[in-house]
Amino acid sequence: MGAKMMKIKATIERVPGGMMIIPLFLGAALNTFAPGTADFFGGFTGALITGTLPILGVFIFCVGATIDFRSSGYIARKGLTLLIGKVGFAALLGLIAAQFIPDEGIQSGFFAGLSVLTIVAVMNETNGGLYLALMNHLGRKEDAGAFAFISTESGPFMTMVTFGVTGLAAFPWETLAATVIPFLIGCILGNLDHELRDLFSKVVPAIIPFFAFSLGNTLDFRMLIKSGFLGIVVGVSVVILSGASLYLLDRFIARGDGVAGVAASSTAGAAVAVPYALADANPVFAPVAESATAIIATSVIVTSLLTPLATIWIEKRVKQRKPPKQITIDYK
């Protein structure tokens, strides 16, 4: 008999967002207890530990390749409604928060570490994988098709656009172009050749642990512990506020029943990479990048737990509202 194989992947996936969160914590552990590891080894090992931006660039390219320009009208309407609604709501909250929160974030009290960057990034991105899993689990194949549009929120580009459009921060056009070019090239190649789309779409989940680990190497456990409870509060707020707004948009704009809207009320694991990506593009975000990353990491876990519960609850309410089918009896 052969040796029994370990179920490492299955064990990691028992943790909500585990393929993002576990490598992130491993990277944070390495940075906390052996902070000079990347410099000590250098070469490929050092690049694997610290190469967040190159790895994220490959991720954005592969996400772009999953987009299908020939989506049906229903799928396009649903996807665009959820995409624009999520980003627009994040922009609105960012504008409101900017009136009360200083540029360097809140420095003391329960909300210490909270910044406008945290609020926009945590609200701006949907966990596309969780959305897709929920829609397939509930047998909503057409709603599942909106995943392609929702997945465009992954990565820093949409958050950069949100800050730029609202005037909360400025980014040089070269920076925005550098962020979107890999995505556009992926889009073009994925639509020119469906075999390429199939190839690159498989890379999206596989690459997440790598940029999560390198991103974790920028964090310190002390910051994660410090922002833990605030991250829980932020995560609950994301599900309530984002879920309510997307529920209404799904019902009245996309002409759905609201279930898909609630399913999009999570924070994407890729959002954890946003603060440092934006800080690299604009140094004004550097002072708040670490605390924002820690809060977002906690929110990813919280929303991964609460969003499925909220979605299933709404779906049951929707089924209860639908009138039973009328049975017509012919007495002839």
Helix (H) or strand (E) segment spanning residue 331: none
What is the Cα–Cα distance from 212 to 217, expressed in whole angstroms?
9
Helix (H) or strand (E) segment spanning residue 78: helix 73-98
309: burial class by Cβ within 10 Å (0-12, 13-18, 19+)? exposed
The residue with greater pLDDT, 139 or 223, is 139
Return the sign of the alpha-carbon dihedral for residues 219, 208, 292, 130: negative
The pLDDT value given to residue 323: 59
pLDDT band of 71, cuts 50, 70, 90: low
Is the pLDDT reported for residue 137 higher than 60?
A: yes
Q: Which segment of 22-31, 71-80, 172-181, 274-283 scores lowest on mean pLDDT?
A: 172-181
Let me know how long the chain is. 332
The pLDDT value given to residue 3: 66
pLDDT tens per residue, range 198-236: 999 888 888 878 877 887 787 777 766 777 789 899 999
The torsion angle over the Cα atoms of residues 203, 260, 253 and 272, rounded to 10 degrees, is -50
- Note whether 20 and 208 are within 8 A (CB): yes
The pLDDT value given to residue 332: 46
By three-state DSSP, how is residue 126 classified?
coil
What is the Cα–Cα distance from 237 to 234, expressed in whole angstroms?
5
pLDDT tens per residue, range 258-285: 999 999 998 887 788 889 888 888 888 9
Mean pLDDT of 232-250: 95
pLDDT tens per residue, range 44-57: 999 888 887 788 78
The residue with greater pLDDT, 257 or 175, is 257
CATH class of the domain whose range is 17-317: mainly alpha
What is the Cα–Cα distance from 9 to 317, expressed in whole angstroms?
34
By three-state DSSP, how is residue 275 classified?
helix
What is the Cα–Cα distance from 74 to 295, expressed in whole angstroms?
35
For residue 46, CA distances in Å to 40, 221, 276 come to: 8, 20, 18
- Whole-model pTM: value is 0.73
Is the pLDDT reported for residue 331 higher than 60?
A: no
DSSP one-letter string for 138-192: TT-HHHHTTHHHHGGGSSSHHHHHHHHHHTSS---HHHHHHHHHHHHHHHHHHHH
pLDDT band of 5, cuts 50, 70, 90: confident
Indicate left, alpha or beta for 6 from its phi (over 0: left) and psi (-120 to 50: alpha): beta
User: Domain residue spans in the chain?
Assistant: 17-317
The torsion angle over the Cα atoms of residues 299, 300, 305 and 309, rounded to 10 degrees, is 90
The pLDDT value given to residue 126: 87
- Note whether 282 and 169 are within 8 A (CB): yes
The pLDDT value given to residue 97: 94
Mean pLDDT of 246-256: 93
The pLDDT value given to residue 269: 76
Query: Looking at beta carbons, which pairs linking 13-18 to residues 24 or more positions away fall under 8 Å?
Result: 15/301, 16/300, 16/301, 16/304, 16/305, 17/127, 17/130, 17/269, 17/300, 17/301, 17/304
The torsion angle over the Cα atoms of residues 233, 292, 306 and 168, rounded to 10 degrees, is 90
